[in-house]
Chain A
Amino acid sequence: DGGITQSPKYLFRKEGQNVTLSCEQNLNHDAMYWYRQDPGQGLRLIYYSQIVNDFQKGDIAEGYSVSREKKESFPLTVTSAQKNPTAFYLCASAVGGGTGNTIYFGEGSWLTVV
C-alpha cells in the first residue's frame, strides 16, 4: 500500500528525555512536513523539507530537530528543550511545493510527557 507511515502511534516520554518520531513515505514525494496539533486546535508547522538533505524551520521549531537523509524518511526528534511536548504530531508529504500540490497526512503520533 502507498502512503505515509508514522510510528509509534503512542509514545510516553519522561521529562528530560529526547524522543524520535518516525515518518516514512513511499509516495515518491519530494516535500515532507511535521505539524503539531494541540487538542481543539489547528495544525502548526514545526519543520519542513523540500528535498533530501535540506530542511527549514516552521513556525514552532524551537525544541525540535529533524533530518532528511533519505527521500522517504523524515524523522522528528522532540528534545528536552521542548517544554510542552504533549501533543498529537502529524507528518505529511507532497509532490513538491507550489500551488496545487496537495499535502497528504499520516495517521499521527500521540506524545505524552509523564
Chain B
Amino acid sequence: GESVGLHLPTLSVQEGDNSIINCAYSNSASDYFIWYKQESGKGPQFIIDIRSNMDKRQGQRVTVLLNKTVKHLSLQIAATQPGDSAVYFCAENIGSNYKLTFGKGTLLTVNP
C-alpha cells in the first residue's frame, strides 16, 4: 500500500551547520511532494514542494531533492538556526487525488 516514511526520527545539529532530513516513499505513482514544518502545538507550515518531473528545487535556505529511482526525498536546510527546531514532515500526493499521505516526521533540534 501507500506509505511515506522517514529514515531518522530525530536529528540534532549545531547552529550554523547544514541539516538533511530524509524521507522514503513507496508508491511510484506519487507525483507531488511537500515538506511541512510543525512547531510544537501549532499547525504544519508549508516549506517547499516538488513535482515528480523535477529532481531538485531550491527555496530560501532550503533545497528539496527527489530521487525517483530509489523513491527518496530529502530536505536540506542551510545554516540551520535555532528557529528551525521543529518536526518536519514529508507528504505525497498522487495525480488528481485530493488526499495527502504524511510520514511520521523527524524532530530537528538545533543546538546553539
Residues of A whose CB lies within 8 Å of any CB of B are 4, 6, 31, 33, 40-45, 48, 50, 58, 88, 90, 92, 94, 97-100, 102-108, 110
Chain B stretch 61-112: residues in CB contact (< 8 A) with chain A: 89, 91, 93, 95-100, 102-105
Closest chain A residue to B105 by CB distance? A42
Residues on B facing A (Cβ under 8 Å): 31-32, 34, 36, 41-46, 49, 51, 89, 91, 93, 95-100, 102-105
B52 nearest in chain A by CB position: A99
Chain B residues with Cβ below 8 Å from A31 are: 98
Give, as a whole number of angstroms, the nearest-CB distance from A6 to chain B: 8
A-B residue pairs in contact (CB < 8 Å), sample of 23: A4-B43, A31-B98, A42-B104, A42-B105, A44-B102, A45-B100, A48-B99, A88-B41, A90-B44, A92-B43, A97-B96, A97-B98, A98-B96, A98-B98, A99-B93, A100-B32, A102-B46, A103-B34, A103-B91, A104-B46, A105-B36, A107-B43, A110-B41
Picked from A98, A102, A104, A107, the residue with its CB within 8 Å of the CB of B42 is: A107
Given A50-B98, A58-B99, A97-B98, is A108 in contact with B41 using a C-beta cutoff of 8 Å? yes
Q: How far is the CA of A108 from the CA of B103 in the complex (A)?
A: 18
CA–CA, A44 and B101, complex, Å:
8
CB distance from B107 to the nearest CB of A (A): 9
Q: Would B103 and A102 count as touching, CB distance under 8 A?
A: no
With a cutoff of 8 Å between Cβ atoms, the chain A residues found around residue B36 in the complex are 105
- B105 & A90 in contact (Cβ 8 Å cutoff): no
Contact B93 A43 (CB under 8 A): no
Taken together as a complex, chains A and B put the C-alpha atoms of A113 and B81 apart, in Å, by 37
With a cutoff of 8 Å between Cβ atoms, the chain A residues found around residue B31 in the complex are 99
Min CB gap B61→A, angstroms: 19
Q: A90-B43, A104-B46, A105-B45 are in contact. Are A98 and B95 (CB under 8 A)?
A: yes
A44: chain B residues within 8 A (beta carbon): 102
| Least CB distance, A95 to chain B, in whole angstroms | 11
